[in-house]
Structure 1
């Protein structure tokens, strides 16, 4: 299973915000500079994280973004469920003629549930055991234009 770059960028942005002092705001530009990713793509990621309740956005001259919950309240499985289409195969489009006898979809669904069960054991806080080292590595790079 491979996650989309959307989820990759979401986890990166959540990790960065989790290294900041509680309540400190940052900007999408800062996140894109740190990871060297497309600003346009990151805007969509942050917007989705905001709608899912993981990120708080503050408008205005002194606005920005920050975590909407403590890192201990952000489950990794919860993030994936909010961002990823978890249906690995679609047997209905186009309709698969072996559907009545096929067991593959059930096996893949079981594997997806096992994957999520593993992620459900961890929170964003668990990813911060080396918070100091993470903070030291989050140095802005050249921003990628998109």
Structure 2
């Protein structure tokens, strides 16, 4: 399983937004300038994120985007599934249409991996990422 640029860039944009003061709107242009991501691509990514209620947008000169809910209520899993789709490591995990499903010796392994992936990304919130990011500058290294 690979997370594409859709997932990585959506997470990066939402992290940027979560680091702003609460209630502060920002434009995709500002996100792009501060993260190095493409403004046009961000606009495309925000379409499904808006539909899912993960981001909220307001039009106009003072408009822009902000997280649709509190960052502690938005999980990494929700963001990734919104732009990537299901996070299954192989197609047959959720589909029972596989002709080998009855005799597949690895099906249990794939199902367990799928469960672990989802448990992991659902356990991390946008607030967790923001807190971890903010502590990066505070770490001192000693050899």
Coarse TM-score class (shorter-chain normalised): 0.7 to 0.9
Structure-2 change in CA distance of 1:31 and 1:99 (3 Å): same
Structure-2 change in CA distance of 1:41 and 1:103 (3 Å): farther
Q: What is the distance in 2 between the residues matched to 1:80 and 1:46?
A: 12
Quote the offset at 1:107 in angstroms. Answer: 2.4
Report the equivalent of 1:39: 39
Report the equivalent of 1:24: 24
Report the equivalent of 2:141: none
Structure-2 change in CA distance of 1:9 and 1:99 (3 Å): same
Q: Deviations over 1:59-88 (max 9, x none)?
A: 112211111111111112222222223243
Quote the offset at 1:109 in angstroms. Answer: 2.8
**Greater RCO (CA < 8 Å, at least 6 residues apart):** 1
From 102, 105, 109, give the equivalent of 1:103. Answer: 105
Q: What is the distance in 2 between the residues matched to 1:120 and 1:113?
A: 10
Aligned 8 A contact 2:15 2:126 in 1 = yes
TM-score (norm 1): 0.77
2:121 is equivalent to residue 119 of structure 1: yes
Matches within 5 A, 1:48-63: 48-63=48-63
Report the equivalent of 1:85: 85
Quote the offset at 1:130 in angstroms. Answer: 4.3
Q: Deviations over 1:86-126 (max 9, x none)?
A: 243335xxx97645422334422321111111122221111
Aligned 8 A contact 1:71 1:124 in 2 = yes
TM-score (norm 2): 0.78
Unaligned runs of 5+ in 2: 138-143
Q: Secondary structure at the match of 1:129?
A: helix
Aligned length: 133
Q: Secondary structure at the match of 2:91?
A: coil
Unaligned runs of 5+ in 1: 136-146
